[in-house]
Structures are given as structure tokens and as C-alpha cells.
Amino acid sequence: MRRSAARALFTLIVLALGLWGYARSGDRFAYAGTRVAAGIAPPLVLPDDRGGTFDLAAHRGRIVLVYFGYTRCPDVCPATLDLLGAVAQQLGADRSRVEAVFVTLDPRRDTPPALHDFLSNFDPVPVGLTGSPAAIAAAAQRWGVTWRPAEGGAYIDHTSLVTAIGPDGRQRLRYGFSQLGDAAAVARDLKHILDED
């Protein structure tokens, strides 16, 4: 009898834990962005447009949105930065806990002053990063960004994704251009990440 009671109790505990786990799995947050494999973000240490050096590892405690592009881009780069501005407006009090970083893919033309002039047209103003062509190529490769010159070198075809790095330094989400179009949903994602950490 004792053995039967112990088995019944054990079965009830297992069932209760299973139901609890099932119920919790239904509460998972539905992100607007695309989840990426969990892990610490690749290193990103480059000269910035403000006369210093940006080191992603020094920005723990904040969300950092990383985007690779170039200042002479006629469409997707400035449009992406405008969309990030719309997201910032939706963040309210959390706006100061989210920082955008723009890494140039055209370091020969995008000098720190050129980056600074270009980025000052956006609100909030992203931090601009540049460096030697070799350093930029290495950074882009680590971040999974591909690019190539197009139309005789006047333009650059490139991966256009914004990567959200959480306050813990881990890659969390990536946003394509169309996903960024819903500023309220992106802001909800970022607030959720901030609340988790």
C-alpha cells in the first residue's frame, strides 16, 4: 500500500511538473525580430566618428543595435537609420538604454568626419565606426555580413540586417528592413529584453 501511494504521489508530481512546463512554454514572448543562436556577440572594436575607439564589450548593460552600411548608400541605409529613429521614439524612458552603431563598409570614403556628418542627420545619432579595409572586412565576416561593389564601385550590395545585442553582451535578434517597419513591435522586443536582464 505504501508503495502504491508513493508511486501515485510520484506520478502526480511528474504530471504537475509536465503541465507547469507546458503552460510556461505557451507564455513565450513572440518577438517581431528573428531570433539568432544564443552566444556572446562577436568582438567589435573600431575607431569611432567621435575621435575615440568603440568597444562593444564596454557597452554591457545596454542594448546595442549594430548595422553595417555606407554613407553614399542611396536608399536602404538611410531608410534603416530612419526606422531605428522611429523605434527610439517608441521606447519612451528606455530610449537611453538602447544605442545604435553604424559600421561602414566603405572605409576609404567614410572617414570619421564623413561618417559624423552623415549620421548627424538622424535622431538618435548613431555611433559611426570605421577602420582599415582589412579591419572592416574582418568585422563584417565575424558578424555574417556580406558585401561587394556594384555598378563600377559607385554602390555596394550588402547584407542589410540590424543585430540586437542584449545588455548581457549576447546576440538576441536580427531585423530585416521589413521587420523594422513596425516600430512599436521592435520597441516591444527591446523593452522585453531590457526587462529580462
Structural domain spans, the chain: 1-30, 31-196
Residue 121 to residues 114, 115, 141: CA-CA distances in angstroms? 12, 10, 28
Cα–Cα distance measured from residue 197 to residue 190, given in angstroms and rounded to the nearest whole number: 11
Structure confidence by residue, pLDDT tens digits, 9-55:
555 454 444 444 444 444 488 999 999 988 999 999 999 999 999 99
Q: What is the pLDDT of residue 164?
A: 98
Answer whether 33's CB lies under 8 Å from 188's CB. no
Q: What is the pLDDT of residue 7?
A: 58
Give backbone dihedrals phi and psi of 79, rounded to 5 degrees, phi first: -65, -40
Cβ-proximal residues to 118 (8 Å cutoff; 6+ apart), any chain: 71, 110, 128
- Has residue 68 got a pLDDT over 80? yes
Q: What is the pLDDT of residue 19?
A: 45
Q: What is the pLDDT of residue 25?
A: 43
Structure confidence by residue, pLDDT tens digits, 132-185:
999 999 999 999 999 998 888 889 999 999 999 999 999 999 999 999 999 999
Q: Which three cell numbers stand for residue 36?
A: 539568432
Cα–Cα distance measured from residue 31 to residue 179, given in angstroms and rounded to the nearest whole number: 10
Amino acid at 154: A
- CATH annotation of 31-196: 3.40.30.10
Measuring CA to CA, which residue among 65, 62, 53 is closest to residue 96?
Answer: 62
Question: What is the residue-averaged pLDDT of the chain?
Answer: 89
Specify the pairing of strand 147-150 against strand 127-129: unpaired
Structure confidence by residue, pLDDT tens digits, 91-106:
999 999 999 999 999 9
Mean pLDDT on 74-87: 97
